[in-house]
Chains A and B, each alone.
Chain A
Amino acid sequence: MKKTRKIVVISLLISLGLVLHLVESFFPLSAVVPGAKLGLANIVSLIAISLFGFPTAFQVVIFRVVLGSLLAGTFMTINFYLSFSGGILSFILMYLAYYFLKDYLSLIGISIIGAVAHNTAQITAAYLIIANIGIFYYLPFLILLALPTGLGVGLVSYFTLKHLPFSITGGNL
């Protein structure tokens, strides 16, 4: 892929991630289980991992988290650190799963790993701040919710990648 084209695709992915980040705040999943969300922005991370590999996908995730928090007005607050820790851990685990277990797991399995890791990291980070073990009460509910959301996210990324033109995928999927 040419350098200019790559930059364009990366910035498209980042802006898509930002829009999905804003869209998912319309779904009040926090009323069901505190702290739950759809994780739609993970679609972009999965696509970036499959298209570009680690360094570029990592850029996409970092830019998405930082710009998303700037837009929502939470930059450098505790909410930012929570979503940062969840985003980074789930990204790293998804990348490792993609790299080592690509032949065994489909994108659905990889996105479920990412969703569960995201929830666990956020709960653990929140526990470190409020120092109350009772917060782990919500962990099993969050993990159960991660199954349908991870499944949906994995399906969306699977079909998106399938319908991308050859000029973007370069035929190396």
Chain B
Amino acid sequence: MKITDILTFYDKILIIFVIVLAFVLLIIPFYYFASTSEEAELILKVQQGDQVIKTVDLADSYREAVVFEVEGPIGTHIIEVNQGRVRVREAPAADPLKICEKTGWIDREGPIIVCVPNSLSLWLESTNSDIDGMSW
């Protein structure tokens, strides 16, 4: 028995619709981050709740790694900035899924590290785009 015997006509329409939807959603960040050039200075922003609690210049991380801790309702995160990359080195033990730790390194605009139980999010932002926005 082949899979095409099971799939109906409307199944195929649904699959194509989902693929198109995913690609449309995929294109939006490409437009949004298109202005970022290779040499842009990146800064790390750490947000907890609805306020940014810490910013780190990635340029500071090339000589030696910047390691700091963030306290949250369920425990302490150890965050490492090294050679222009960022990761959560250690998630609190009370977080059973440890998704932020599994996300690994991020080194460009777009991807984001989240730890939902601690309402913590880390992302990179280029400093150039802000200056452009103001000077125009």
Residues of A within 8 A of B (CB): 28, 30-31, 34-35, 72-74, 77-79, 82, 101, 104-109, 112-113, 116, 126, 129-132, 134-141, 143-144, 146-147, 155, 158
Docked Cα-Cα span, A2 to B2, in Å, equals 36
Name 7 A/B residue pairs within 8 A (Cβ), A-sorted. A34-B103, A109-B7, A131-B50, A132-B121, A137-B29, A137-B111, A143-B18
Q: Does B34 contact A (CB under 8 A)?
A: no
Query: What residues of chain B lie closer than 8 Å to A116, measured between beta carbons?
Result: 18
| A73 adjacent to B96 (CB under 8 Å) | yes
| B117 adjacent to A79 (CB under 8 Å) | yes
Candidates A107, A109, A140; contact of B23 at CB < 8 Å = A140
Known: A31-B104, A35-B99. 20 other contacts (CB 8 A): A30-B97, A72-B96, A77-B74, A79-B116, A105-B14, A106-B6, A106-B8, A106-B11, A108-B7, A113-B14, A126-B114, A130-B121, A132-B123, A134-B123, A137-B111, A143-B18, A143-B22, A143-B25, A144-B19, A146-B18
Determine how close the nearest CB of chain A comes to the CB of B44; give it in whole angstroms. 13
Q: Does B47 contact A (CB under 8 A)?
A: yes
| B112 adjacent to A134 (CB under 8 Å) | yes
Determine how close the nearest CB of chain A comes to the CB of B20; give it in whole angstroms. 10
Q: Does B110 contact A (CB under 8 A)?
A: yes
Residues of B within 8 A of A (CB): 3, 6-11, 14-15, 18-19, 21-23, 25-26, 29, 47, 49-50, 74, 95-97, 99-100, 102-104, 110-114, 116-117, 119-121, 123
| A130 adjacent to B25 (CB under 8 Å) | no
Docked Cα-Cα span, A130 to B23, in Å, equals 25
| A126 adjacent to B116 (CB under 8 Å) | yes
Q: Interface on chain A toward B: helix, strand, loop, or mixed SS?
A: helix
Docked Cα-Cα span, A135 to B99, in Å, equals 13
Query: What residues of chain A lie closer than 8 Å to B121, measured between beta carbons?
Result: 130, 132, 134-135
Residue of B nearest to A30 (CB): B102
Docked Cα-Cα span, A41 to B96, in Å, equals 19
| A147 adjacent to B19 (CB under 8 Å) | yes
Query: What residues of chain A lie closer than 8 Å to B74, measured between beta carbons?
Result: 77
Determine how close the nearest CB of chain A comes to the CB of B14; give it in whole angstroms. 5
Determine how close the nearest CB of chain B comes to the CB of A29; give it in whole angstroms. 9
Docked Cα-Cα span, A108 to B113, in Å, equals 32
Docked Cα-Cα span, A59 to B15, in Å, equals 29
| B116 adjacent to A130 (CB under 8 Å) | yes
Query: What residues of chain A lie closer than 8 Å to B22, measured between beta carbons?
Result: 140-141, 143-144
Query: What residues of chain A lie closer than 8 Å to B3, measured between beta carbons?
Result: 155
Candidates B15, B23, B123; contact of A112 at CB < 8 Å = B15
